Amino acid sequence: MEKFPWWNEAQKALADEVDAFSDEITPKAQELVWKREFPWEIIREVGKRGWFGAVIPEEYGGKKSEWGYTGCCIILEYLSRAGIAVACPYLLTMCGGTHQIEDFSPPEKKEEWLPRIARGELLGAVGLTEPYVGSDAASVETVARREGDEYVISGKKRFITSGLSADIYVVYARTSDDPKDIAKYRHITAFIVERGTEGFHVEKVNELIGFDNLYNAYLDLDEVRVPVENRLGEEGDGWKVMMSGLNFERTMTAASMLGLMREALRYAVFHSERRIQFGQPTINIGVNQFKIADMVWIFNTARLLTYHAAHVLDLGGTAAAEAATAKMFTTEFGMKMFLDAVQVMGGDGVTRFYPVESYIRDTKIMQIAAGTNEIMKLIIFSQGLRALRKYIPPPVRKVHPELRVPITVAFGSLRDEEKRKVEGEEDVLRALAENYKVNPGLAMTLDDMKGVLAADDETLTRMLTALEEKKLVKTFKDKKGQIRLARITLEGLKKTLTLEECKWIPSWVLEKDVF
Ligand SMILES: Cc1cc2nc3c(=O)[nH]c(=O)nc-3n(C[C@H](O)[C@H](O)[C@H](O)COP(=O)(O)OP(=O)(O)OC[C@H]3O[C@@H](n4cnc5c(N)ncnc54)[C@H](O)[C@@H]3O)c2cc1C
């Protein structure tokens, strides 16, 4: 369980190595939280060990073929044990430059930046959010205009993690106001802006609920000139660049929650095995055991979801729904886990003398950063459901001839030979009437109708339109005027079914009471 069976030997060795590193640096990392100092020394050491090269191809000095996205999550899981301030600069470098440069930069820029990132010489950050643009990321107001071989970028970015500690910033800017480009999400372009470029400054440093010794900043871009080669992809590719980065970022956010979870479990167990109340260690108390049991299943499930998303990324998938699910689960259930850990530890849990309380504060941020969990639900609803749909075709239900109750007889569609032939409108009306008997109150989609009728879309549309004109059917049309749903009207029912056919009175009902 600790090392998943699908990890390769290099990834398993990496896990041991980063875990041991975390043991070693924890005292320093905790000291730096108290001093509120950014962990420069530790991050430089991470760089020296080559871990920033996890998703960088070997030709640029990385170890992508051995470690990949799974390796990257392994590094984050074990690094975050030493605190979020150790994990985040790594996370932001991976999705704030590395990934995008590898996929979208011209070869000369890959050669310039990737080996330096792999050696830990360049840290990255993501500059997407703005004062007036949050969840609605497509509305970025920062603008970039082309002037010869340069782009000139102006705007403001906010909430930028590693805002003062990065060397390269992935900045998203609007390059078109053409409604046609906006409709196709082709109005945004992504750029690498380097620290020290004229006109690029820190405006404000945020004081946050958590992320105690991490920099989070407002950045000001005032006519910042970047060469065309700093553009990621083509002009208008910004949305594509953003999405690929965000899916990776969400997977890594989940991975960095795992280290906090492991430590919460460590401290809750450590504390409750040593704290005696009512003559026994508090871990003997049932409610504490239940809380610890919850922590265990949450942690184990969180790891599975996270490494599943990473595996999908390693296989070349987009992992949109998987990453959103992992991010949702680890931050929602992580919060429950940390609240429980604090509760198990009683008063000690809410002191800053144990790190557990800080996990609650950091997790509140994690529920908002990298896309809020409400946005994760929108993604899971659209993309997650889309992916599942083909495996959950709708039930086809029919009245059982003997029991006279609805029974599911097929999924998606009846076999062709079982379908009703459509010789006229009455066959379509009959299908809608039968649907009333098995799914009362529900309309039918055209696919539902094709599942029980031997007819194509065109025939059904024509007949439904004719039946609607006769007020026997009611349809629901989409914006393009296409019929999406149809149902029978009361008038249609009267014409098709007798009350006797609709009746269903269970045997326990007294006959004298039925009228
Ligand atoms: C500490 C921290 C670090 C961050 N780091 C970075 C970073 O490094 N780089 C970067 O670019 N950004 C960063 N962010 C920004 C982060 O991604 C945004 O805060 C987040 O996307 C939400 O935007 P918002 O804060 O403007 O909230 P809003 O978009 O204003 O949302 C307010 C509320 O409305 C809800 N909401 C909005 N739209 C919808 C909808 N359509 N359906 C349902 N609910 C909705 C949201 O879920 C939220 O609860 C960071 C944020 C924080 C707090």
CA distance 366 to 375: 13
Q: Does residue 382 line the site of ligand 1, with CB under 6 A?
A: no
Ligand 1 midpoint to CA 211 (Å): 16
Structure token pair of residue 353: 């003398």
- In the sheet with 483-488, reading across from the earlier edge strand, the strands are 444-445, 483-488, 473-477
Nearest-CA residue for atom 1 of ligand 1? 365
pLDDT of the residue at 1? 59
pLDDT of the residue at 270? 98
242-389 adopts what CATH topology?
Butyryl-CoA Dehydrogenase, subunit A; domain 3 (1.20.140)
- Is 144 within 8 Å of 191 (Cβ atoms)? yes
Nearest-CA residue for atom 52 of ligand 1? 369
Same fold, 1-121 and 242-389: no
pLDDT 10s digit of each residue in the chain, 515 long?
589 999 999 999 999 999 999 999 999 999 999 999 999 999 999 999 999 999 999 999 999 999 999 999 999 999 999 999 999 999 999 999 999 999 999 999 999 999 999 999 999 999 999 999 999 999 999 999 999 999 999 999 999 999 999 999 999 999 999 999 999 999 999 999 999 999 999 999 999 999 999 999 999 999 999 999 999 999 999 999 999 889 999 999 999 999 999 999 999 999 999 999 999 999 999 999 999 999 999 999 999 999 999 999 999 999 999 999 999 999 999 999 999 999 999 999 999 999 999 999 999 999 999 999 999 999 999 999 999 999 999 999 999 999 999 999 999 999 999 999 999 999 999 999 999 999 999 999 999 999 999 999 999 999 999 999 999 999 999 999 999 999 999 999 999 999 999 999 999 999 999 99
Structure token pair of residue 166: 């990065």
- Is 170 within 8 Å of 190 (Cβ atoms)? yes
Ligand 1 midpoint to CA 124 (Å): 20
CA distance 482 to 192: 45
Q: Which of 249, 322, 357, 434 is catalytic?
A: 249
Q: Does residue 93 line the site of ligand 1, with CB under 6 A?
A: no
User: Residue 206 CA: which ligand 1 atom is closest?
Assistant: 1
User: What is the SS3 assignment for 379-433?
Assistant: HHHHHHHHHHHCCCCCEEEEECCCCCCEEEEEECCCCHHHCEECCCHHHHHHHHH
DSSP-derived secondary structure for 288-341: HHHHHHHHHHHHHHHHHHHHHHHHHHHTT---HHHHHHHHHHHHHHHHHHHHHH
Angle made by CA atoms 11, 88, 158, in degrees to the nearest 5 = 145
The whole model's pTM is what? Answer: 0.93
1-121 adopts what CATH topology?
Butyryl-Coa Dehydrogenase, subunit A; domain 1 (1.10.540)
CATH superfamily of 123-236: Butyryl-CoA Dehydrogenase, subunit A, domain 2 (2.40.110.10)
Nearest-CA residue for atom 16 of ligand 1? 369
pLDDT of the residue at 480? 95
Ligand 1 midpoint to CA 368 (Å): 5
Ligand 1 midpoint to CA 393 (Å): 35
pLDDT of the residue at 2? 87
Angle made by CA atoms 348, 76, 91, in degrees to the nearest 5 = 110
User: Residue 92 CA: which ligand 1 atom is closest?
Assistant: 8
395-513 adopts what CATH topology?
Arc Repressor Mutant, subunit A (1.10.10)
Q: Does residue 371 line the site of ligand 1, with CB under 6 A?
A: yes
Ligand 1 midpoint to CA 75 (Å): 26
- Is 396 within 8 Å of 434 (Cβ atoms)? no
pLDDT of the residue at 45? 97
For the question of residue 249 being annotated catalytic, the response is: yes
Q: Does residue 142 line the site of ligand 1, with CB under 6 A?
A: no
Ligand 1 midpoint to CA 367 (Å): 9
Domain boundaries, the chain: 1-121, 123-236, 242-389, 395-513
- Helix (H) / strand (E) element for 218: namely strand 216-227
Structure token pair of residue 335: 């919060």
Q: Does residue 214 line the site of ligand 1, with CB under 6 A?
A: no
Q: Does residue 216 line the site of ligand 1, with CB under 6 A?
A: yes
